[in-house]
């Protein structure tokens, strides 16, 4: 055993790090990246390097004011950070005592909630989504009764301090029902913060719940420029919360969280003309999403296409691993979701440009045709 292995915090010895899209594949290999829900559209920005010899602001007033105006919240309700991933980590570091407190998640969901909790020594309590609900409008929704019961269990060994909810959902691609979110917020009002991750909100027709901040002191909304704004490489996200929560998060935030160049790009992305450009890209994605869903539903071998309000589509197939390997051989990277509870043999495919989607569709058609032919022999 190495010295590092001997000295590391004990709970880290069994920790499996998050398997990101880039970590799982060689980013130097030319490929069609449809596994990380990135925008297929890039934008040029103007950079001023005259202040790169100076440290950037702890919190840029210009950036926070711009995002507050975009999100229709007060500047005091905005914390800018290195993507919403950092916001997740900050919340756990700020509000969860190691080995004493817990976070609640609702699987299948974004993996970083559990990974960040494990990294900080917080327990994870899972109340799974209702995947097999008898009512079609309840499929993929919160088990609100179970969530509320656990939150109000004052005799529980672990105190739930944070409830992480993803809406629109990753990986299911659906919206959570607003009334369910309100029930959870009310149930947690004296016990926990409810963190609603809205990374994909720009793609949905359902309005953001950031307008609820003044009514719910325990609400935190996570947002990002990585998806609809096409700035995954800039690493800029936001936590929206009431000022008392923001002040606590600032205690554990690094002194210079966002690089000067990121600040410049993010501010330009929030100008009116850039927001209009983003919204046009979102509309293009919506058109492609409809075409994709229709095409996938017609493929023999696709067992189910999940409805989507995002920039990706989840589908159930006969053999997810085989399909992912086939696409990789064609230079196309898609995401196997089989490790997620309830999603055995499911794959997630990001919606690219029209040309990229057609290339992926052609590969899928060949895969299913070859499998059908093999089964006929």
Series of mean pLDDT values for 10-residue runs along the chain (377 residues): 77 67 58 94 96 97 98 98 97 95 97 95 96 73 96 84 98 97 96 97 98 98 98 98 98 96 98 98 97 93 95 96 95 95 97 96 92 70
153 and 75 share one domain? yes
pLDDT score recorded for residue 220: 98
266 and 278 share one domain? no
Any domain includes 78 = yes
86 and 136 share one domain? yes
29 and 112 share one domain? no
pLDDT score recorded for residue 205: 96
Strand 193-197, strand 159-166: pairing: parallel
CATH code assigned at 67: 3.40.640.10
74 and 219 share one domain? yes
pLDDT digits (tens, 9 = 90+) for 144-167: 999 999 998 877 788 999 999 999
Any domain includes 160 = yes
What Rg value do the Cα atoms of the chain yield, rounded? 21
pLDDT score recorded for residue 215: 97
pLDDT score recorded for residue 132: 80
- Pull the structure tokens for residue 1: 């055993």
Strand 335-336, strand 346-350: pairing: antiparallel
Instruction: Kindly write down the DSSP assignment for every residue of 101-157, as one continuous string.
Output: EEEEE-SSS-THHHHHHHHTT-EEEE---BTT-SSGGGTTB--HHHHHHHHT-TT-S
168 and 308 share one domain? no
Angle formed by the axes of helices 354-376 and 320-329, to 10°?
A: 120
Of the residues 271, 298, 315, the one at which a domain ends: 271
Please answer whether residues 131 and 74 qualify as being in contact, where contact means their C-beta atoms are separated by less than 8 angstroms.
no
Of the residues 221, 242, 271, the one at which a domain ends: 271
Total number of domains in the chain = 2
127 and 77 share one domain? yes
Alpha-helical segments (H) within 120-228: 144-151, 178-187
Domain residues for the domain of 298 are: 3-40+274-368
CATH code assigned at 310: 3.90.1150.10
280 and 335 share one domain? yes
pLDDT score recorded for residue 134: 58
pLDDT score recorded for residue 241: 98
347 and 214 share one domain? no
206 and 94 share one domain? yes
Return phi, psi of residue 101, to 5°: -110, 170
Length of the chain: 377
352 and 206 share one domain? no
Any domain includes 56 = no
Any domain includes 358 = yes
Of the residues 252, 271, 290, the one at which a domain ends: 271
pLDDT score recorded for residue 40: 95
147 and 242 share one domain? yes
End-to-end CA distance of the chain: 53
CA distance 210 to 115: 25
Any domain includes 52 = no
């Amino acid at each position: 055993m190495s010295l590092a292995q001997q000295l590391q915090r004990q709970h880290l010895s069994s920790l499996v790090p998050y398997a990101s899209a880039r970590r799982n594949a060689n980013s130097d290999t030319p490929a069609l990246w449809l596994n990380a829900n990135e925008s297929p559209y890039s934008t040029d920005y103007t950079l001023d390097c005259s202040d790169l010899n100076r440290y950037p602001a702890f919190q840029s007033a210009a950036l926070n004011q711009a995002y507050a105006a975009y999100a229709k919240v007060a500047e005091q309700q905005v914390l800018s950070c290195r993507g919403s991933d950092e916001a997740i980590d900050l919340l756990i570091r700020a509000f969860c005592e190691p080995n004493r407190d817990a976070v609640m998640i609702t699987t299948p969901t974004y993996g970083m909630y559990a990974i960040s909790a494990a990294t900080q020594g917080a327990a994870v309590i899972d109340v799974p989504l209702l995947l097999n609900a008898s009512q079609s409008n309840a499929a993929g929704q919160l088990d609100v009764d179970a969530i509320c019961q656990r939150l109000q269990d004052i005799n529980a060994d672990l105190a739930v301090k944070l409830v992480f909810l993803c809406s629109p959902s990753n990986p299911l691609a659906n919206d959570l029902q607003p009334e369910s979110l309100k029930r959870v917020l009310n149930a947690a009002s004296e016990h926990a913060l409810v963190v609603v991750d809205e990374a994909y909100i720009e793609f949905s027709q359902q309005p953001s719940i950031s307008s609820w901040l003044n009514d719910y002191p325990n609400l935190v909304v996570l947002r990002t420029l990585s998806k609809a704004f096409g700035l995954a490489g800039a690493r800029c996200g936001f936590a929206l919360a009431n000022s008392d929560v923001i002040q606590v998060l600032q205690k554990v935030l690094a002194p210079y969280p966002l690089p000067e160049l990121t600040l410049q790009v993010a501010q330009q992305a929030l100008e009116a003309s850039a927001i209009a450009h983003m919204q046009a890209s979102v509309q293009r994605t919506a058109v492609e999403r409809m075409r994709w869903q229709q095409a996938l539903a017609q493929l023999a071998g696709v067992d189910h296409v999940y409805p989507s309000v995002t920039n990706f589509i989840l589908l159930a197939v006969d053999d997810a691993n085989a399909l992912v390997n086939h696409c990789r051989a064609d230079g196309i990277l898609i995401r196997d979701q089989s490790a997620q509870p309830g999603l055995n043999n499911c794959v997630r495919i990001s919606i690219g440009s029209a040309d990229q989607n057609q290339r992926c569709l052609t590969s899928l058609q060949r895969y299913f045709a070859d499998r059908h032919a093999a089964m006929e022999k």
